[in-house]
Amino acid sequence: MHDQPPIELGLLLYPGVQWATVHGLTDLFEIAGRFTGTAEDAERPRLRVSHWRLEEGAAAPSRVYDSLPAASGSPSVLILPPSLAEPITAEAAAPYREWLRRQHQSGVRLASICAGAFLLAETGLLDGRTATTHWLYVERFNARFPGVRLDADQLLIDGEDLVTAGGLMAWTDLGLRLVDRYLGAKRMLGTARILVIDPPGRQQRYYSAFSPRLSHGDSAILAVQEWLQESGAQDIALDTLARRAGLEPRTFLRRFRQATGMTATAYGQQLRVGRARELLQASRLPLERVAWEVGYSDPGAFRKVFTRVVGLSPGDYRRRFGGGSPGR
């Protein structure tokens, strides 16, 4: 019975760590690791949960909590939880950088949640890799770690040795993914049912709001952005936008993309979809009327754009977030 060594899942308690995630994952792993007495469960390894902290004057973090203190071995995974403070600075991350790199080199899987991606990226291990973090941190993360391919639409990106999860509550998705990996899908689904949470499969773009670049310093483009926001992007014709910017169309297109990182059409679509999300959540308007209100005379075109941007159809979005309003 339980001849295999336990699988250790460690959580790093760096400064500013969000304790709700630490305690939540500790409980999730404890629930997942409970022995139910079946022959199948008896063959599975136990889960060992540990907390790691860098004590004052110490050269490296050490265990400060261990659910199986009599066990030996090292973590299979080290998790970098979110922070309720600002993302960790390069200076604050310095004492952890080489230790985390050594852990990774020895075969330990590293995983981050939300702002924990900043600490993981400080190791340099994410350079050239695809990762995610909270959608609010996209611009800051890209500026600080240009070598990382950030895809904040994804709630969880599993790169095997490096795993990143997006928002604050994405710890549930990460926790279940790890349970699935080490204990199997049956135990993962059972844990999700006990906790009454969705199994992994969500996308962060279901929840994120459009956050345009406004600090680029191009006053002509900024004026157009402000007008688009105020008007609800009802008119996104190139001639209209170029005229408002006082620029030739080709010059406007080049400068708009340079300033905002996207085309004027895509920018307008983001604004329209954002307004549509508000209407779908707060009103009982039919989808055709929602489409018209945000600038689409063709409901089919609206559905196509909305689904591409959000990852859900307007009807599915309303059913999930709109509190039972009618829709198709």
Model pLDDT for residues 50-73, shown as the tens digit of each residue = 999 999 999 999 999 999 998 888
Q: Are 302 and 314 in contact (CB under 8 A)?
A: yes
pLDDT (0 to 100) of residue 69: 92
Q: Which of 16-30, 136-150, 223-237 has the lowest mean pLDDT?
A: 223-237
Pick the most confident of 71-85, 109-123, 205-219.
109-123
Q: What is the pLDDT of residues 134-162, one digit of tens each?
A: 989 999 999 999 999 999 888 899 888 99
Task: Tell me the pairing of strands 7-12 and 77-80.
Answer: parallel
Model confidence at 4: pLDDT above 80: no
pLDDT, mean of residues 121-128:
97
pLDDT (0 to 100) of residue 41: 59
Model confidence at 37: pLDDT above 60: no
Residue 40 zone, left/alpha/beta (φ > 0; ψ -120 to 50; rest): alpha
Model confidence at 221: pLDDT above 80: yes
pLDDT, mean of residues 204-218:
77
- Determine the residue type at 42: A
Q: Are 175 and 29 in contact (CB under 8 A)?
A: yes
pLDDT (0 to 100) of residue 60: 95
Instruction: Give the residue, 83 or 209, on which the prediction is more confident.
Output: 83
pLDDT (0 to 100) of residue 133: 96
Question: According to DSSP H, which parts of 232-293 are helical?
Answer: 238-245, 249-260, 264-282, 287-293
Full-model pTM? 0.68
pLDDT, mean of residues 120-132:
96
Cα 142 from Cα 303, distance rounded (Å) = 30
DSSP state at residue 135? G
Q: What is the pLDDT of residues 289-318, one digit of tens each?
A: 999 999 999 999 999 999 988 888 999 888
Q: Are 294 and 269 in contact (CB under 8 A)?
A: no
pLDDT (0 to 100) of residue 42: 58
Give just the sign of the alpha carbon dihedral 89, 90, 94, 97: positive
pLDDT (0 to 100) of residue 186: 82
Q: What is the pLDDT of residues 257-286, one digit of tens each?
A: 999 988 999 999 999 998 898 888 888 899
pLDDT (0 to 100) of residue 325: 43
Task: Give me the residue label for tokens 């390069």.
Answer: 90
Q: Are 134 and 114 in contact (CB under 8 A)?
A: yes
Q: Are 326 and 302 in contact (CB under 8 A)?
A: no
pLDDT, mean of residues 189-215:
77
